[in-house]
Structure 1
Amino acid sequence: MRYILLALFTLSSASLMAQFEGTPTISPSDFETKVYDIDSSAHAITLFEHGKTQIDKSESDRSLMVFHHYKTRLKILTKEGYEHANFTIPLYKYGSTFEYITNIKATTYNLVNGKIENIPLKNKDIFLEHKSDFVKLNKFTMPDIQTGSIIELEYTLVSPDIFNFRSWQFQTDIPKLKSDYRVLIPAIYKYNITLKGPLKLSDTKSKLQRECLVLNGNKIDCSDITYFMESIPAFKAEAYMLAPKNYISAVSFELEEMAMSGGGIKSFTKKWSDVDRELMTDKDFGGQLKKTNLLEETLTKLGDTSYNQLDKAKSVFRWVQKNIKWNNTYGKYAQHGIEDALKSKNGNSADINLTLITALNAAGIESYPILVSTRDNGLPNSLHPVISDFNYVIAGVKIQDQTYLADATDPLLPFGQLPMRCINEKGRIIFSKKSSEWIPLINNQISSTHYNFDGSLEPSGVLKGNLTIMYNGMDAVSKRRNILEYPSAEEYQEAIDEQLTSMTVKELNIENLDNNEISLIENFAIEIKLCDEIKGNTFYFNPIFINRTIKNPFNLDERNYHVDIGSRRDESHTITIKLPKGSNIKTSPKNVSFVLPEATARYNYKSELIDDSLHVAQHLSLKKAIYNTDEYFGLKELFSRVIQQLKIDHSFNYNANASL
């Protein structure tokens, strides 16, 4: 679904229509089939959009609020574009106040027998979902959508978030012919205004608007700025990327300072020392870290304290994982607090990881909180501290000269490994007695999957043998989660049989499912129809019969953001197949080795026939977790070559009078 902020309710305030005057009326010619130069393959296109944001007094809220007025018109070009008539509308909570929406008008226009018909959206077709204590989602689908439909919508969103004003995204997942955004900022406020993304503005206009706001009897002037952009291509997301908001062309605002009514300036731009002090004195952050006495008695029951610090840290980590279940809510501040979270065995990410940090310190292991902005939340501001940028906290554990990163929210995660949601460039480690500092958010363990098969190919074309798959790192976490979705190993085995129709699992044994500190291993006895019945003394098959790379994850002509795969990766296949006696290779893929500059990635493939046994080894290694834009085309070409390599079957001549 597209994300656009729409309206739900009606407010008896000034008419929204007055906010955007002079928009063109819809005519029959607008429904003509067109191919737009900006993107000839687009399934939908925004014809125009206007935004206007201002700070004003809200009599009903009895405070200053941000009023964001929006109007857009878009066209559905193909059946595939119907999804752009689905909308999800998030409303966020700031303090005790939720954003709300007023003055909605949403209509679908269709050309029927040469006449324009309009079908308005009805209130009964708008649904409200409470996603969390902090987010509500309004969802609806525009009525009577057809190929060629034009959608027009407008609304006003009212928000208490004066600090961040209202960001404007020029770029979305469909192209736009034009987009403009007007802001009226009272002179009492000073904002840091940031333009980001690869696209350039087509124009900017600014002027002074006199007496745009009356506050406490004082008439205040405003800076009136309008940003224009035209011919805006769609932002195309691809595999292995951070949140799109990090790369989309947009303008954002962050409150720097405010003039006080009694005189003087209040600064909102803090130093990290101010943030450190604020966090460590907050009862729901630093206050929780002082509760070591709650945990000391419990920790003495964990066992012998004579083992080394790393083993002790792992023991504490596992104890926290087992005793507080994550409620799937992010947070940098405790939702319930350590004591209540332990009693109820439930809490948000801060409840769990602040408990972990406190427990580690109670056990004599140096540990500190690390503020994190999760992967979908966007990158934190690195120029100056913005505490609202962070929505999560993890633990930094100091053992000898190494700092381990730990998150106890997921019972499948081993100590020292982060979930993918937390791998977002860098976090801020908050020390108790010295200034905080940035720390890279990385998983040192390589994510790997290794396939080993030893079997024989019968003249009927059926391959029988034993397949062993070993998983480590994030691959092991993902596979453990997959297996545990099934009530039993037998049902998991049945699911594999259903998914891989050509393969029959005769036997399955899983090792180390309950021990996430070591490799997860699956052992299969399998039969697979690898090739058609051998005829004419020649048979063909591809020995890489499981998890063969067939699709390139990198397909853009140009990628303006780096490739972030979360950790270094490694995958290998070691295949040994006993062939019918007297077999010899007729054709086979060439033995190859592809290496990117500075050996940042490598692929090797080798096959040979020794005494009627085919030995195949392939190995793909990505030596970096992050590849920059200059390295993108090398990765794209590497995967393209791997795919071409694996398309080639082996063919063999076979002595029909011989037997296995």
Structure 2
Amino acid sequence: MRKLSLLTLLTFLFTNLLIAQIQFNSENIIVTKSDLEKNTFEQDTTANAVILYEFGNAYIDKRTFELVFEYKKKVKILNREGFKHSNISLRLYNSDRNKEKINNIKGSTTNLVNGQIKRTNLEPSQIFEDKIDENNTYIKFTLPDIKEGSVITYTYELRTPFIYKYQPWYFQEDLPKLYSEYITSIPGNYDYHIKLVGDLELKTHDMTLDKYCIKVSNGGSAHCTVAKYVMTNIPAFREESYMRAASNYISRIEYELKTINRFDGVVENITKSWETADKELKTNQNFGKQLKKESLVKKLIPEEEILKQNSTLDKAKLIYDFVKNNYTWNNKHRIFKDISIKDVIDDKSGNTAEINLLLYNLLKSNDLKVNPVLLSTRDHGLVTKLFPVISEFNYLILKLEIEDKSYFLDATDKDLVFGQIPFKCLNDYGREIDFDNGSKWIDLEPQTKSSIIQKSVITINDDYTFNATINITSLGFKALDIKKEFNKNNQKFIDYYTQAFPDFTFDNIDVLIDEDTLKVNEIITFSGPVNTIGNKVFFDPFIFKNFTENPLKLQERSYPVDFGYKDMYTNRIKIFFSDNFVVNDISKENTKQLPQSSALSIFKSKKESGIVEFYFKANFYEKSYHHFYYKELKSFFDNLVDLQSNSILVLEKKG
């Protein structure tokens, strides 16, 4: 017995020793036999490749004052889907006088062939240059001899004269990483704002001082701050439903040059203040100058039409509807280039800024208090609040104030109503430009509620058929989505129901759109057969479902679940039947709640003689949920899908 236990113990220890030995080398770029032998990645079984090691080193050249960036990378290819990661593309930027260069590109592919390590090097003839336009060129190469289980490595040196953004470092990519290290050496006369983006934490953040790293001929010198940043076991960044721009969340380090203290004593301020930016915007031909075109718009709307309005709000609505209905957006977001109010008036078409600045001038000429608001759309990324970066804005709306109430206006979309902005603009905040009082940040919150309310009245007949009338009321952005689909092709919208439910006979489908509010009513009357087994009726109370599958599918998520607005779904269902039926079975009540009461779902049922009632409600009280709650929210959606897919009423026919 003792011998058997000892043998078992030795076997166990030996097996675990072997497992422990077969680990990826994430300490350097050297390809080891373990890297080649191990062909699985347990931490993320969906990954088709994994970055084993990554290293970057950035510093200012003492002689040329160019930024030098040295890069090394080692990647394990796990399967055929991972072959695409052997295709490397490196972007170079050049302006009229300056350009970036890449030197010393080296690469290799290492395979395990019959137990022997075989290395195939990248040849210079396999490196290509692809000029995209006058400013952008890509250096491209594909690592050779790729197989399942290959390990690829490559290194290069980038030299750039463009030091305003220094060299950003992306810890996170679409592949998981075991180790990522970045070292920077920044001279003290360069003052950068350094920003760590994303929720992942650094394992190492060390700072040291390299004295007299830069010396110039006139005796000037500077010390360098040397920083070392390390992250390990970094999850892949994968996009999923309910997210804004990936650039908001991918873990990385970014730089923005604030000032340069030149060796001759001159201080050059690179980053401007908003006070300075406002002055520049005020004199800008494509912005500030276009805010003073009231003389061009005076006669666009007859004065008698304006005077007929009963209130200031009615006057504003008239002007808004005039612009929205008579001028067409050309689908361009351009806001600081080729802006002309005269052109949009003549052409009846224009970009975002032209349409909304035309509206601005019309409102201003009629003595209304209005300011332009610069923002970045959801897919464009968040704008930094620390200092003005005008290039980060890509959209323009208006803020109108009437009797201490604010209205956001956008006349580019004919389906919008007064006081509503597109969903794409719900990106937390924008910059209100007020040249008299100074610009300021303002929140961009939805000004209307969004919800879907279903009321169903259903009768189950003795002949095993049913008749139903379902009234669906949509509000806010839910209504806008339906309005867009219906206005695009109303017959196609109606045909959806007949095609999705071929067993039903639709007697009437009415879609009522309130053009002045965000409200859409669908009234649908139809009939059809019920499912039966013997003398039992099996009836699904959720005929038109809000939740058919869980939109959250990742194992884990490192960024928020962002709906953009608070949301609510309600179903009230009444099912009538004759005395010839009795209730055999009915789904049980179900209530779920997220932590801190941030979301709630309720399912209830009630039965009386000849009638059964169901009540369902899903209320998302927050517009965005931290990734800490991802698993709970994913489970919450699972429950919603289960409720609407598996709820049942079973009736049994007497006799």
Asked if structure 2 preserves the Cα contact closer than 8 Å seen for 1:46 and 1:176, the reply is: yes
Q: Does structure 1 residue 30 correspond to structure 2 residue 70?
A: no
Match among 33, 43, 48 for residue 43 of structure 1? 48
Deviates more, 1:448-457 or 1:595-604: 595-604
Asked if structure 1 preserves the Cα contact closer than 8 Å seen for 2:126 and 2:141, the reply is: no
SS in 1 for 2:538: strand
Deviates more, 1:357-366 or 1:494-503: 494-503
The TM-score with structure 1 as length reference comes to 0.80
How many Å apart are 1:146 and its aligned residue?
A: 5.1
Asked if structure 2 preserves the Cα contact closer than 8 Å seen for 1:335 and 1:348, the reply is: no
Rg comparison, structure with higher value? 2
Asked if structure 2 preserves the Cα contact closer than 8 Å seen for 1:530 and 1:542, the reply is: no
Deviates more, 1:33-42 or 1:469-478: 33-42
Asked if structure 1 preserves the Cα contact closer than 8 Å seen for 2:205 and 2:227, the reply is: no
Residue in structure 2 matched with residue 180 of structure 1 by the alignment: 181
Whole-Å separation in 1 of the counterparts to 2:266 and 2:392 = 27
Unaligned runs of 5+ in 1: 1-21
Whole-Å separation in 2 of the counterparts to 1:476 and 1:554 = 24
Match among 358, 366, 370 for residue 367 of structure 1? 370
Match among 303, 310, 314 for residue 311 of structure 1? 314
Q: Does structure 1 residue 523 correspond to structure 2 residue 526?
A: no
Whole-Å separation in 2 of the counterparts to 1:93 and 1:592 = 62
SS in 2 for 1:350: helix
Whole-Å separation in 2 of the counterparts to 1:491 and 1:340 = 36
Residue in structure 1 matched with residue 580 of structure 2 by the alignment: 582
Asked if structure 1 preserves the Cα contact closer than 8 Å seen for 2:480 and 2:518, the reply is: no
Residue 490 of structure 2 aligns with an amino acid whose one-letter code is A
Q: Does structure 1 residue 569 correspond to structure 2 residue 567?
A: yes
Q: Does structure 1 residue 442 correspond to structure 2 residue 449?
A: no
Whole-Å separation in 1 of the counterparts to 2:136 and 2:122 = 27
Whole-Å separation in 1 of the counterparts to 2:239 and 2:424 = 17
Residue in structure 2 matched with residue 168 of structure 1 by the alignment: 169
Mark the CA change 1:504 to 1:135 in structure 2 (over 3 Å): closer, same or farther.
farther
Residue in structure 2 matched with residue 391 of structure 1 by the alignment: 394
Asked if structure 1 preserves the Cα contact closer than 8 Å seen for 2:39 and 2:149, the reply is: no
Whole-Å separation in 2 of the counterparts to 1:272 and 1:469 = 48
Residue in structure 1 matched with residue 477 of structure 2 by the alignment: 474
How many Å apart are 1:586 and its aligned residue?
A: 1.7
SS in 1 for 2:194: strand
Q: Report matched runs for 1:390-539 at 5 Å.
A: 390-457=393-460, 463-485=466-488, 488-499=489-500, 505=506, 507-512=508-513, 515=515, 517-527=517-527, 531=531, 534-539=532-537
Residue 178 of structure 2 aligns with an amino acid whose one-letter code is L
Asked if structure 2 preserves the Cα contact closer than 8 Å seen for 1:588 and 1:648, the reply is: no
Residue 469 of structure 1 aligns with an amino acid whose one-letter code is I
Whole-Å separation in 1 of the counterparts to 2:94 and 2:371 = 29
Q: CA RMSD in A?
A: 4.2
Match among 232, 235, 247 for residue 233 of structure 1? 235
Residue 194 of structure 1 aligns with an amino acid whose one-letter code is K
Residue in structure 2 matched with residue 280 of structure 1 by the alignment: 282
Whole-Å separation in 1 of the counterparts to 2:330 and 2:88 = 27
Unaligned runs of 5+ in 2: 1-26
Mark the CA change 1:155 to 1:296 in structure 2 (over 3 Å): closer, same or farther.
farther
SS in 1 for 2:534: coil
How many Å apart are 1:442 and its aligned residue?
A: 0.9
How many Å apart are 1:357 and its aligned residue?
A: 2.2
SS in 2 for 1:252: strand
Deviations 1:105-142 (A, max 9, x none): 77766656667475969989998878xx9999999998
Deviations 1:361-395 (A, max 9, x none): 12322111222132233333334444444333221
Match among 267, 270, 282 for residue 269 of structure 2? 267
Residue in structure 2 matched with residue 11 of structure 1 by the alignment: none
Whole-Å separation in 2 of the counterparts to 1:278 and 1:614 = 67
Mark the CA change 1:72 to 1:505 in structure 2 (over 3 Å): closer, same or farther.
farther
Whole-Å separation in 2 of the counterparts to 1:500 and 1:580 = 26
Whole-Å separation in 1 of the counterparts to 2:365 and 2:193 = 42
Residue 584 of structure 1 aligns with an amino acid whose one-letter code is V
How many Å apart are 1:445 and its aligned residue?
A: 0.9
Deviations 1:385-413 (A, max 9, x none): 44444333221111111111222333222
Whole-Å separation in 2 of the counterparts to 1:126 and 1:226 = 32
Q: Percent identity?
A: 30
Mark the CA change 1:285 to 1:599 in structure 2 (over 3 Å): closer, same or farther.
same
Asked if structure 1 preserves the Cα contact closer than 8 Å seen for 2:329 and 2:349, the reply is: yes
Deviations 1:64-118 (A, max 9, x none): 8655554423223245556656778777898x89986745677766656667475
Whole-Å separation in 2 of the counterparts to 1:370 and 1:443 = 15
SS in 2 for 1:299: coil
How many Å apart are 1:167 and its aligned residue?
A: 1.7
Residue in structure 2 matched with residue 9 of structure 1 by the alignment: none
Deviations 1:303-324 (A, max 9, x none): 3434222333233333333444
Asked if structure 2 preserves the Cα contact closer than 8 Å seen for 1:505 and 1:525, the reply is: yes
Q: Does structure 1 residue 199 correspond to structure 2 residue 204?
A: no
Deviates more, 1:196-205 or 1:174-183: 196-205
Asked if structure 2 preserves the Cα contact closer than 8 Å seen for 1:48 and 1:178, the reply is: yes
Asked if structure 1 preserves the Cα contact closer than 8 Å seen for 2:583 and 2:652, the reply is: no
Residue in structure 2 matched with residue 19 of structure 1 by the alignment: none
SS in 1 for 2:299: helix
The TM-score with structure 2 as length reference comes to 0.80
Mark the CA change 1:102 to 1:596 in structure 2 (over 3 Å): closer, same or farther.
closer
Residue in structure 1 matched with residue 543 of structure 2 by the alignment: 545
Deviations 1:157-202 (A, max 9, x none): 6766532223212122321111122334344421122234331133
Mark the CA change 1:613 to 1:235 in structure 2 (over 3 Å): closer, same or farther.
same
Residue 259 of structure 1 aligns with an amino acid whose one-letter code is N
Asked if structure 2 preserves the Cα contact closer than 8 Å seen for 1:587 and 1:652, the reply is: yes
Deviations 1:511-535 (A, max 9, x none): 228x36342233334455653xx23
Residue 258 of structure 2 aligns with an amino acid whose one-letter code is E
Q: Does structure 1 residue 601 correspond to structure 2 residue 603?
A: no
How many Å apart are 1:599 and its aligned residue?
A: 5.5
Whole-Å separation in 1 of the counterparts to 2:98 and 2:343 = 27
Deviates more, 1:49-58 or 1:450-459: 49-58
Whole-Å separation in 2 of the counterparts to 1:92 and 1:507 = 60
Match among 250, 253, 277 for residue 251 of structure 1? 253
Mark the CA change 1:426 to 1:548 in structure 2 (over 3 Å): closer, same or farther.
closer
Residue 564 of structure 1 aligns with an amino acid whose one-letter code is D
Whole-Å separation in 1 of the counterparts to 2:483 and 2:583 = 39
SS in 2 for 1:543: coil
How many Å apart are 1:272 and its aligned residue?
A: 2.7
Whole-Å separation in 1 of the counterparts to 2:377 and 2:651 = 56
How many Å apart are 1:566 and its aligned residue?
A: 1.1
Whole-Å separation in 1 of the counterparts to 2:229 and 2:335 = 35
Residue in structure 1 matched with residue 338 of structure 2 by the alignment: 335
Whole-Å separation in 1 of the counterparts to 2:483 and 2:275 = 42
Deviations 1:306-348 (A, max 9, x none): 4222333233333333444434443442433222233344443
